Structure formats: C-alpha cells, structure tokens
C-alpha cells in the first residue's frame, strides 16, 4: 500500500535530502553538543557532571555514525514507548540501510531518535532538551509579532450588537480567513532552517498585519481556504465540534496556533481543540509538553520582554490566563502519542497506530501543521505537483474512518502536491531557484475524509 512515486533519499543530489543529510544534520548535532557542554559547565555535582559527559560522548558517537554514513542500527531499549515501533521498522524495511540510502524522512527522524537515546539511557539527564534554550530564545526575540497579536486578541471575540445573522457569519468568515493565514505563516520560523536568525530576519518572517497577509496570499499555491471555511462553519451545528491540531513548532508558531484555536473556541465554531505534540525533542523546534507549559506560563508569569509596555504585558497575561482556563475546563487538551516521534509516514498511521487512527477519526477536522507533517502525509515522495491532495495522502484520505484532514504548511522541502497544474511548479523550477525550501510559498489543502 505505497504510492507509485519514489521517496526522496539522501543520495538524491537534486533534492534537499542531500544537503540535509550531508550538511544540515551534522550542523544541528554540533550545536546540540555545544549546548550540552554549556550545561555541563554549569554543573557542580560530580555524578551529574560525569553522567552528562557520557551523554556528550554518545553524541560524539552519533556524529561519527552520521558523518561516516553508518548503517542504521536498532534503537536501544531505553524505556520509551516507541522502541518497538522503531525497531520493527528497521528490521522490516531498513535492514542494512545507511543514513544516505534509507528514505530521507526515515533517516532524518532516526537521527533525532538516536539523539534522544544519548540522553534517555542516562541517570540524571533523561529529559534534557538540547534545543530548549534555542526555542525560548527565539520566542523572546519575537516581541513585535507577539504583542501585535496579543493587543488585538486579548479582548474576547464579540460581535457588535446590531448585526444580522448573515453579517455575523461574514465577520466570522473574515476573521477565520485572517487567522488561518496567521496560523499558516507562523510555520515559517522553524529553527532547523534558521539556526542563526537575526532579530530583523525574525521580524520580516513574522509580519502579521493585514496588508502583509493580503500580499502573501498569492504565495499560497494550493489554496483551499474557502473549502476549509465551509467545513468549519458547519461545525457549530455538530454535537462534537472537535478540532485537532497536529502541532509542529514551539514558540511563535505554537503561539499563533493558540491564537487561532482561541478564536475557534470563542466563536463557538469548535467546542474542543486537541493539540498533539511530541514526547521528546524533535526536529529542533517541535513542541514538547515542556514547551507547551513554558509558553502558557511565561505569558502569565514571565518577564521575557523587557521593553514591553504595561499594557502589552497585560494583554499577554490575559490571553495566557484564558488559555490556561481552557485547559482546566477540558476545552483545550494537550496530548502526545508515541507514533508522532517515529520514522513512519502517515500512510502507515492506521496500520501501525490503529488506536491513534481511531482517536483522530472521531475528530471533525484534523489540522496538520508544517513541513514535516506534510512530508509524512504525502509519503515524502516525488509525486507530480498536480496530484490531488487526497490522492497524495492515501489512507489518511481513503481508509474507512479517515477524518477530514487539512495540511497548513509553508513549503520547505521537495514534495509539492495539490497544485492546479504541473506547469505552475515547472515555471517556478525554471524561474526561482530554491523556491521549494525558502518557506516563501505555502499550501492549505483539505481532504474530505471517508466516514467509517
């Protein structure tokens, strides 16, 4: 049950797989080692120091494997809930494969799993996050966009008194249209690509103003936002009204996701939003439970933005307090299934994680954020750009019980589907080098699912 197109692999020199496996991953690992050394220098207790040193040595070993293109060995049983899933995949599909000739998606995920293993077998540092500093730091440098949104959305969403029902619905549609784009473009700041971003670079990526959004809407190459609204506006009538977010990055992207989810709850379009994060550090900036808690608590209690006005600070506090309240009331739920931290694509989700598939099939809409989720949905393979989204995602569209699925993703890697024609992609291939990895373009695609 595989798609008919070949999956990208590290040795495909024409693909972003090559630069990622050969250059980006060693760079990311090098930075992770530096971070751990920094932490090591801050320790005093000898047993903790030596335990952390052993983690660094394991990371060095991983670096040797990665740069020497070693074969993928099984994962050590470190008590993680995903060990069996990993080792089954290695035994069944990737025996004898190395970092470069295994499918890119699998090999890249495998690197993050091995990184996890460097710490998970330790005594004191099991939950150490080598990317945590970076994630917090980037959010703290996102002040302008953070306050632009909090100053607008801290006040609860309300319709003005004398509006007709039709006018109310139109106001909601406009708000939905804007917030969908804010949520979408929030994905352009993932840290695996922007390791050394300046404050100005961050700012230009995070413009959330109306003019900017209107100008960038033409860069949404496959744009099913109108169909998405048709789906969402029906939800209010449903008894459930549950929307799921399969999250991507922590910090600013998560903050935008929450602003969007806040609107969905306040407007009554959804009754519950479930957020799916990762169980441990993943692809540099992906959301873990700790990142989730950090965001909400720093909004309410933190002093992250020294230059903020009292009014700005208050807007952030208010919004954060409201979000924490949603959590208490069960309107927002954070969860982290082990399957999300594996190398499987989502073509395999219903087979390898049937409990998760069943869980998602009860949702009214599952929104997958970001590039990696898009690669997983589409098997990360060389499908023609005009391939309809529901064909490209296979069982996630056509297996019995498949929920409605939306992919909101800025384009940062090779696979592009759901465009009106192949010509559009060919034109960009000819005219704009690097268009598939710049994050300048995006897709918002929807599959209607198949009721079980």
The residues binding ligand F6P (CB under 6 A) are 20, 108, 187, 190, 192-193, 248-249, 283, 370-372, 375, 412-413
Q: Cβ(339)–Cβ(352) under 8 Å? A: yes
Closest CA to 197 of 372, 374, 439: 439
- Output 183 or 372, the one with its CB closest to ligand F6P: 372
Q: Cβ(59)–Cβ(32) under 8 Å? A: yes
Closest CA to 233 of 256, 262, 267, 257: 267
Return the one option of Mg ion, ligand F6P, none that residue 129 interacts with (CB less than 5 to 8 A, by type). none
- Output 336 or 399, the one with its CB closest to Mg ion: 336
Q: Is 253 in the site for Mg ion (CB under 5 A)?
A: no
- Output 247 or 270, the one with its CB closest to ligand F6P: 247
Return the one option of Mg ion, ligand F6P, none that residue 193 interacts with (CB less than 5 to 8 A, by type). ligand F6P
Structure tokens at 101: 């000739």
Handedness of CA 85, 91, 97, 98 (dihedral sign): positive
Q: Is 263 in the site for Mg ion (CB under 5 A)?
A: no
Q: Can you tell me whether residue 435 is helix, strand or coil? A: coil
Reported as type and span, the H/E element at residue 66 is helix 46-67
Q: How far is CA 432 from the centre of its chain?
A: 26
Query: Residue 440: how many CB atoms within 10 A of its CB?
Result: 16
Residues 285-344 close enough to bind Mg ion by CB under 5 A: 286
- Output 190 or 390, the one with its CB closest to Mg ion: 190
Rounded Cα distance, 385 and 272, in Å: 34
Return the one option of Mg ion, ligand F6P, none that residue 312 interacts with (CB less than 5 to 8 A, by type). none
Q: Cβ(275)–Cβ(292) under 8 Å? A: yes
Place of tokens 């949603």: 326
Contact flags string 170-209 toward Mg ion, x per CB under 5 A: --------------------x-------------------
- Output 224 or 413, the one with its CB closest to ligand F6P: 413
Place of tokens 């479930």: 274
Q: Looking at 159-167, 225-233, 281-289, 402-410, which segment touches Mg ion (CB under 5 A)?
A: 281-289
Shortest distance (Å) from residue 247 CB to Mg ion: 9
Judged by CB under 5 A, how many residues of this single chain contact Mg ion? 5
- Output 182 or 399, the one with its CB closest to Mg ion: 182
Return the one option of ligand F6P, Mg ion, none that residue 20 interacts with (CB less than 5 to 8 A, by type). ligand F6P
Q: Is 368 in the site for Mg ion (CB under 5 A)?
A: no
Q: How far is CA 127 from the centre of its chain?
A: 20
Q: Is 249 in the site for Mg ion (CB under 5 A)?
A: yes
Say which DSSP state 348 is in.
Answer: G
Return the one option of ligand F6P, Mg ion, none that residue 412 interacts with (CB less than 5 to 8 A, by type). ligand F6P
- Output 130 or 372, the one with its CB closest to ligand F6P: 372
Handedness of CA 61, 65, 67, 72 (dihedral sign): negative
Residues that bind Mg ion (CB under 5 A): 190, 248-249, 283, 286
């Amino acid at each position: 049950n595989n798609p008919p197109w070949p999956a990208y692999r590290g040795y495909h020199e024409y693909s972003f797989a090559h630069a990622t496996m050969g250059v980006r991953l060693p760079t990311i690992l090098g930075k992770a080692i530096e971070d751990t050394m920094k932490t090591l220098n801050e320790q005093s207790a000898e047993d903790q120091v030596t335990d952390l040193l052993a983690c660094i040595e394991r990371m060095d070993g991983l670096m040797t494997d990665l740069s020497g293109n070693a074969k993928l060995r099984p994962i050590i049983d470190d008590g993680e809930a995903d060990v069996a899933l990993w080792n089954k995949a290695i035994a069944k599909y990737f025996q004898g494969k190395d970092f470069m000739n295994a499918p890119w998606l699998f090999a890249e995920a495998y690197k993050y799993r091995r990184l996890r293993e460097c710490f998970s077998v330790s005594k004191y540092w099991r939950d150490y996050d080598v990317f945590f500093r970076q994630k917090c730091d980037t959010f703290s440098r996102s002040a302008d966009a953070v306050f632009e949104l909090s100053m607008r959305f801290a006040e609860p969403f309300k319709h003005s008194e004398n509006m007709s029902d039709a006018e109310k619905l139109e106001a909601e549609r406009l708000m939905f249209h804007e917030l969908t784009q804010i949520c979408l473009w929030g994905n352009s700041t993932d840290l695996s690509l922007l390791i050394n971003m300046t404050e100005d670079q961050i700012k230009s990526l995070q413009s959330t103003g109306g003019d900017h959004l209107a100008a960038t809407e033409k860069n949404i190459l496959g744009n099913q936002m109108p169909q998405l609204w048709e789906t969402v506006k029906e939800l209010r009538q449903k008894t459930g009204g549950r929307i799921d977010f399969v999250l991507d990055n922590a910090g600013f992207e998560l903050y935008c996701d929450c602003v969007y989810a806040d609107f969905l709850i306040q407007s009554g379009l959804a009754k519950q939003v479930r957020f799916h994060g990762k169980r441990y550090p993943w692809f540099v900036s992906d959301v873990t439970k700790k990142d989730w808690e950090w965001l909400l608590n720093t909004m309410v209690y933190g002093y992250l933005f020294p230059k903020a006005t009292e009014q700005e600070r208050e807007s952030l506090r208010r919004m954060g307090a409201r979000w924490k309240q949603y959590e208490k009331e069960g309107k927002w739920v954070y969860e982290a299934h082990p399957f999300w931290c594996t190398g499987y694509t989502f073509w395999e989700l219903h087979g390898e994680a049937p409990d998760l598939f069943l869980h998602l099939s009860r949702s009214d809409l599952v929104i997958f954020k970001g590039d990696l989720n898009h690669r997983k949905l589409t098997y990360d393979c060389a499908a023609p750009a005009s391939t309809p989204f529901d064909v490209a995602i296979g069982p996630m569209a056509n297996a019995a019980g498949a929920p409605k699925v939306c992919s909101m993703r800025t384009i940062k890697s090779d696979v592009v589907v759901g465009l009106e024609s192949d010509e559009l992609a060919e034109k960009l291939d000819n005219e704009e080098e690097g268009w598939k990895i710049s994050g300048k373009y995006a897709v918002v695609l929807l599959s209607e699912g198949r009721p079980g």
